[in-house]
Amino acid sequence: MANRRLRLSILAFGFMCLTGAVGSHAQSDEAILSSIPVVPMNVRFRFVPQYFVQRIDDDPKYSRIEALIDNDPSRPWYEIILADKTTGDRIIFSNSEETVNTLHRVGKVANQSNIHFAVSTQPDSISTYQIGLRDTAGQQIIWKFAVSPKTTKVQAGFMIRPNMSGFVLMGLDQRAAAMPGTTLVIGNARYSVSSTLESTSVQEVTNSGTFYGTGLTIAEIMPGSELWSIDALPDALKADEKWILHTSGGEKRVLTIESVVDDQVVIDQVDQDRSLHVRLGVRRVNGDLLLGSLLVMRQSHSFRIKFIPELPFPAAGLDDTTNVHFIVSEDSQPDIANGNLLARRRFSDEYIQWKFDAPDWARARSIETGASVLNESLINRAKAMK
């Protein structure tokens, strides 16, 4: 990692020197060229219509299985998570190539898999869902989940998922019990559960329990750093101009300026899979762009991080450190998490150390996120001016 950072810093320094051949620029051009609005963190926010979880007591390898299901007929999206009993690691399977690529970029273990999902409803209104896949060892997993027709509203609050890297908030709308007939087959082993539904307090939904839920929101600040290359830059800091980026894996990101009013800039961020609508609230200060807020929207739900003072973006030729306070909000619930971060920029790299003051369970956590930028567009501009 240290060697990679050194190489990137050397390359960035070379790009900074090349920009000298371009000559002088207007203030708006300086802001465009010195700061690239690449957010130095990977934030995911998902709304999942259906959620299943079952604790596994006797399996030698796994302690829990979860399923996140969006059975949209036009684009079904499934994610199955197995918790390793020994290490606590989460082994993720998804039918979405884009989801797997995103997880790989931030260092998570994820596998693209053919996942079977079906549902049948009995005359007594008990729905039985069937999920099928194979794990990394080739074992067949068949999970039949019988759901009680009686649902319970979940009390306000957020679930905590244990043994997680990064910071995760999970909110749930309704819960229902698993009924007799719920079975899990892993290889040659079979596990059954009886009807079970604990207290409706979401704080109990951690590493225990077997239940079905609807209306799941998942907000994640994921550790790790991403490397971005710049394919195109705006000619001016004005509406409809764009930055176009790509990762080493070929994933594309487009940042479009929505509006510029005095020193306030609103930028829309769209990634290749178009699964999220991200809006960046940015302030222009001389030749720098600073991030005041990040808003992620999914259907009617939203997740927001506010930075006080504003967080700097990666910038060529700068070596500085900034202390920033952050506040996290979700939907209509303000300040569900807060703390401080230390942002270190060196040439076109930026790394952030997160420290949480609230909620209480997050205080012991420390997360590092970051981004590195290789600005190929600057090199091309410099060559064109020679």
The one-letter amino acid code at 13 reads F
Q: What is the pLDDT of residue 204?
A: 44
Residue 19 pLDDT class (50, 70, 90 cuts):
very low
Residue 128 · residue 139 · CB < 8 Å: no
Give, in degrees to the nearest 5, the angle at Cα 212 between 132 and 124: 90
First to last CA, the chain: 35
Report the length, in residues, of the chain. 386
Taking the mean position of all CA atoms in its chain, how far away is CA 21?
39
Is the predicted pLDDT of residue 160 greater than 60, yes or no? no
Nearest residue to 112 (alpha-carbon basis) of 83, 130, 82, 133? 133
At 54-84, the pLDDT tens digits run 999 889 999 999 999 999 888 899 999 999 9
The 10s digit of each residue's pLDDT in 142-152 is 999 999 888 88
Q: Are strands 333-347 and 349-358 parallel, antiparallel or unpaired?
A: antiparallel
Q: Could you tell me if 178 and 54 are in contact, meaning their C-beta atoms sit under 8 angstroms apart?
A: yes
pLDDT tens, 178-203? 998 899 999 999 998 865 554 444 44
The number of beta carbons lying within 10 Å of the beta carbon of residue 189 is: 14
DSSP string, 117-141: EEEEE-TTS-EEEEEEEE-TT--EE
Give the start-to-end residue ranges of the domains of the chain. 2-34+223-385, 45-221
What letter does residue 21 receive in the DSSP assignment? G
Q: How far is the CA of 277 from the CAs of 10, 222, 259, 303, in angstroms?
A: 34, 18, 16, 11
Beta carbons within 8 Å of 177's beta carbon, 6+ residues apart: 147, 148, 150, 195, 196, 197, 211, 212
Over 50: is that where the pLDDT of 23 sits? Answer: no
Tell me the C-alpha distance between 308 and 380, whole Å: 36
What mean pLDDT do residues 319-328 have?
A: 95
* pLDDT, averaged across the chain: 82
- Is the Cα dihedral 66, 71, 72, 77 positive or negative? positive
pTM across the whole model: 0.74
108 vs 370, residue with greater confidence: 370
User: What is the reported pLDDT for 89?
Assistant: 85
DSSP state of 251: -
Position 238 scores a pLDDT of: 92
Q: Is 85 left (phi over 0), alpha (psi -120 to 50) or beta?
A: alpha
- Write out the two tokens for 359: 């909620």
Nearest to 178, CA basis, from 158, 157, 192, 160: 192
How many whole angstroms separate alpha carbon 347 and alpha carbon 13?
A: 6
User: What integer is the mean pLDDT of 14-36?
Assistant: 48
Choose the weakest-confidence range: 12-16, 108-112, 168-172, 237-241.
12-16
